[in-house]
């Protein structure tokens, strides 16, 4: 049992390192890459749960995952990108921003879109569900 658990742990760590290395190598090859962009590390199990929550909750009625805008911005390539806001600020779509966009969508409205996202997700989703949704969105970063 113990060695199985150790094996599983090693695998998780290796996977994490692999993703990190992949992101780093992608960055050094990328043309307009900025040195300040942190690699996006996704929890794959949470991302799978997030995908189910997104379709069950109706997020995908307004958000696409293929890069085309719906009544909301697409989730493809969102994580880690620069978001121009209606306020004139430009923020990076990190975990904190993504979480905030779900639980308090009116506080940072994306430029060019209306503030039509329901503010009720903070009450209707559990904290874990919000984390899972953020991991799912991060899995669509590229």
Contact code string over 46-85 relative to ligand HEC, x by CB under 6 A: -----------xxx-xxx-------xxx----x----x--
Q: Tokens for 95?
A: 């975990």
One DSSP character per residue, 45-57 reads: HHHHHHHHHHHHH
Q: At closest approach, how far in Å is the CB of 134 from ligand HEC?
A: 8
Contact 108, 97 (CB under 8 A): yes
- 3-class SS of residue 77: coil
Q: Can residue 139 be called a binding residue for ligand HEC (CB under 6 A)?
A: no
Q: At closest approach, how far in Å is the CB of 42 from ligand HEC?
A: 15
Q: How far is CA 50 from CA 82, 93, 131, in A?
A: 22, 17, 8
Please report, as residue ranges, which positions from 86 to 115 form the binding site for ligand HEC (by CB under 6 A).
Answer: 93, 98, 101-102, 105, 109-110, 113-115
How many residues bind ligand HEC (CB under 6 A)? The answer is: 26
- How far apart, in whole angstroms, are the C-alpha atoms of residue 119 and residue 115? 10
In the complex, which residues of this chain contact ligand HEC (CB under 6 A)?
57-59, 61-63, 71-73, 78, 83, 93, 98, 101-102, 105, 109-110, 113-117, 121, 133, 137
């Amino acid at each position: 049992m113990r060695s199985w658990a150790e094996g599983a742990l090693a695998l998780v760590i290796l996977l994490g390192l692999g993703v990190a290395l992949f992101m780093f190598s992608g960055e050094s090859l990328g043309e307009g890459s900025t040195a300040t962009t942190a690699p996006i590390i996704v929890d794959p199990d949470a991302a799978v749960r997030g995908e189910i929550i997104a379709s069950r909750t109706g997020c995908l009625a307004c958000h696409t995952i293929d890069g085309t805008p719906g009544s909301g911005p697409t989730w493809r390539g969102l994580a880690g990108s620069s978001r121009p806001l209606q306020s004139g600020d430009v923020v990076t779509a990190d975990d904190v921003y993504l979480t905030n966009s779900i639980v308090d969508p009116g506080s940072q409205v994306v430029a060019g879109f209306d503030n039509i996202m329901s503010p009720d997700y903070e009450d209707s989703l559990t904290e874990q569900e919000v984390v899972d949704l953020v991991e799912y969105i991060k899995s669509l970063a590229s």
